[in-house]
Amino acid sequence: MGLNELDLAVIAAYLAGVTLFGLRFRRKQRTLRDYFLAGNTIPWWAISLSIVAAETSTLTIISVPGLAYEKDFRFLQLIIGYFLGRVVVSLVLIPQYFRGRLVTAYELIERRFGGKLRSLTAGMFLLTRAAAEGVRVFAVAIVIRVALGGLLAGLGETQRDVAAIAIVTVLTLLYTFEGGMAAVIWTDVVQLAIYLTGSMAAAYCILGLVPGGWETIHGVAGQASKFRVFDVSWNLSATYTLWSGVIGGVFLTMASHGTDQLIVQRLLSARSERQAKMALISSGVAVFFQFFLFLLIGAMLYVFYKLFPPAAAFTRTDTIFPNFVVTRLPHGVGGLLISAILAAAMSNLSAALNSLSSTTIVDFYARIWPLATEERRVRLSRLATLGWGGVLFGLALLARHGGKVLEMGLSIASVAYGSLLGVFLLGVLTRRASERGAMVGMLTGFVLNLYLWLFTGVPFTWYVVLGSIATFLVGYGASWILPKSSYSQSIVQAEQCE
């Protein structure tokens, strides 16, 4: 069927509307806290929804249905771990962040260890977040290529990818550049509503297209074991088991929501420590519902295409949902779904741009030029946002040569998360750990995860677990061997006096 003028009008209206809405938050930000933390004026429920939107990208919406289409609901085991991990972060790390006026997660590392380790952790965040985000931004090209295939028929594949990624990147840059964190969070809330509404509309349409509706879907999908959730086997080569899901999910969330500036920056924007905890815990409930919906859509698509086989077999599961949206949904609804997928892309991109910019300015520039005025720092923060927009645009084009975008994005992030989490746990849970020992442990954990990713069949769900344990144990052991720096000694003495 394809998209028509009505669908394109819906997409254009969304892109213009969300950009103008984001620009409404353009105001004179006088300090870095105004620009990067919205002056601590955001209510907990908005931060909660923004967290969900920030960890949901285009690749989530197009890849998770593909997981259920190809396999089953075992991905939900990871989501159970996601919720439990949020509880741990609320108890262990959030109280540490609210002891002082922090802007980035890595200021906590300097307060505990010293400036060198702060630079190392912040630098690792910049490199791995940019790489993972490039994969997520590329997912936009998959959707646009399918949705606007007819209109872009005269362009080559590379040209279509460049056009798709450029449109989303430029529009997101406009409101992120001007409005800072306030624009990011409130546009996240709107975009979350759009993509969840669009996803529920898709599920409703599939019900109407399958003869017999839910009874047929339940029968066919159930017979094919599509609703299977739990796998209690101890198979380390399996990506989604109960143990890798719960244990791996807990560690992955402790890292992503406790050490990654992308999420920590939102928590630091809360009005109080209590509101930050409320935002984080409630986001776990919302994430479970969201992923259940995406997996349900995948099972429903399995039944639909079982009854109405496509003209050509799908070569990758990432394209199944976008293809259905373009070829099977009524006009208008198809445009809404494409807008929903773009909403997730813009939400995640704006979060990444703001967090990369904040780490660049606060953790590097402000320390090199401590006498720079707040006005100059805010101005440079906007320029850093533009610079990172260009970097992510280039990385998204490089990501065209990867495999399944969901698991590739999670794998890249998980390689760094293990060592980052290990360092944060060393700082929070021990007094003996020194900066030099922690640096040795961090590099060990990173090299281990890099090896697991590139040279073994161990799934990404175990990377953070193994990497953080290696970082913690090696870092703690090395701290007994390597002499403490004078900075570390003064920190320990200060802790003992408290």
Distances in Å between the Cα of 263 and the Cα atoms of 59, 209, 297, 324, 423 are 18, 39, 27, 32, 18
What is the DSSP secondary structure assignment for residue 31, as one 8-state letter? S
Residues 6 or more apart whose CB falls under 8 angstroms from that of 226 comprise 68, 72, 73, 298, 299, 302
Architecture of domain 5-404: Up-down Bundle (1.20)
269 is written with which tokens? 């924007």
In terms of Cα–Cα distance, which of 113, 62, 115, 108 is closest to 89? 108
Q: Is the dihedral of CA 396, 401, 406, 408 positive or negative?
A: negative
**pLDDT per position in the chain (498 positions), as tens?**
556 778 788 888 888 888 888 888 776 667 888 888 888 889 999 999 999 988 887 777 878 898 888 888 988 998 899 999 999 999 999 999 998 778 898 998 988 888 899 999 999 889 888 877 877 777 776 666 666 655 555 666 677 778 778 887 888 888 888 788 888 899 889 888 888 888 898 899 899 999 999 999 999 999 999 999 888 887 777 777 888 888 988 998 999 899 989 899 999 999 999 999 999 999 999 999 999 999 999 999 999 998 988 877 777 787 788 888 878 878 787 788 778 777 777 877 888 898 999 999 999 999 889 888 888 998 899 899 999 999 888 888 776 665 444 455 556 667 788 899 999 999 889 888 898 999 999 999 999 988 988 888 887 778 889 999 999 999 999 998 876 654 455 444 444 444
Distance CA 40, CA 165 (A): 32
Helix, coil or strand: residue 43? coil
Residue 465 contacts residue 248 (beta carbons within 8 Å): yes
Angle separating helix axes 157-209 and 273-307, nearest 10 degrees: 80
390 is written with which tokens? 């260009």
Burial class for 75, CB neighbours closer than 10 Å (0-12, 13-18, 19+): buried
Total residue length of the chain: 498
Residue 426 contacts residue 472 (beta carbons within 8 Å): yes
421 is written with which tokens? 């989490």
Residue with tokens 């061997």: 481
- pLDDT tens-digit series, residues 268-287: 999 999 999 999 999 999 99
* DSSP H helical ranges for 58-97: 58-70, 76-92, 94-97
170 is written with which tokens? 């430029």
Helices vs strands, H then E, count in the chain: 21, 0
Which residue ranges make up each domain of the chain? 5-404
Helix, coil or strand: residue 224? coil
